[in-house]
Structure 1
């Protein structure tokens, strides 16, 4: 039955002009609707249905309305019928305009688990499929609980090393800002700090696909990395430095790091805020390997001594000066 005939049937039903068989058909549809989960409509369709519902209901509430008991019954018929029409119309619309969801799971069925590591903490977790993730200090992720349908993980903030269990039937997909990394089974590192302009994906085993929104995917093999700069959406490919993974052994590696990067990583590892009032200090780059078991002031002394800089503690921040 097309939508025009369905709408005509419902209007006749509301006016009491439908036949016994038509009444039964509508009632049967309503019984089916009662057992279904609520549906979500797009704004335009929902607004149209609300307007039609209100028009029908306001008519029933006019001075010419029948006594209260009958009014209540008719109000329920009006609301149920128009909701039924909207639900059927929505089903017809979605069949012609399907919206893909990961693993063909409806959004109502998707649930997530959130994992967060504290400042100075590295956390190892095992996902439902057997894949192992190591979170760097002050990092947070969420993953889809139902891994039988789709293996989806999102890096909310921070750095994570992935050792993914091979499953050719279910690709492993990681969303980190503008980057989407997809694998079947491999090992790789993703740095995706929200506060930093630079993001990276480095591969230690196997092969991964990395796609930036609106750009073709890049395929990385062992020993290669992709670096993405948010400002300007610039992508570069280069060899992956395995020393980058020294954070898993409790080291903070600064490899020609900008002041911004150094300050963010110190904050993630020690929870301290670092600032530089002088532009000449902010423009410097830092190289050092710090054992994060040492106190933060000692770590800063190592970093600043290389560049002959001074440290000044303030109430809420630590300033680095010439």
Structure 2
């Protein structure tokens, strides 16, 4: 296991360096002066200059970057310009909300998407295959916020079966949490369900057309048993990478869905930071999301190595 994990952890170091440069650079591109935002529109030039010195904004960007990295490596992401609370605490308080939404959306993507993909692979060329493939393509093409608006209008406004707001974590009760997350999770995961269905169809179909499948059929083994016991096991290797990409997509798309359903997650926190030109908070949000993505890629590589021993060499 160490031979599998350690090289990938070492490879993350230059990636984290690149991510830190990008995160800091994006913060520099935000229009406006954080010192002016903090001091107020009617502040005197002397007060603004004093705040710039306190924030270190009077130094060249390279010096600011090195100072920021030094604090980040010590676990200090600075304080929010709005609330003066530690950025790390604010970000970590919102991260579970976003991760829970993404995980529920992953279930929405994997379970129905995998089932549709398997049926389409088994019925290759048939009516079911064409209909399911067309439905999956439509789900991929429709933006998540459009699906979300449709779900809100249908189930929250017209039918009254669900609430459009009031997102709850599992600690408030699992059933209540699942009800509150149903609409945003479906809106976020529907497109990924279509994408996953197409990948499952391709992977399972390739496994069913392999020579070992023909040998199994000649021995009288039924198609459902071949699919569940053999084809899916071989298809799991390439699908691991697909799931990592879907996770990254859902993590990014959650920004829009959180805003649509008023979910207090990382997305709404980042949007609020941009609106108030809260540079430390924005950098903290982007940095934590980037590290989360890198860790998801690491987990995907480890699972890939466990499923395919050839990658461990």
Q: Into which bin does the TM-score normalised by the smaller protein fall?
A: under 0.3
More helix by share: 2
The higher radius of gyration belongs to: 1
Greater RCO, 1 or 2 (C-alpha within 8 Å, sep 6+): 2
More strand by share: 1
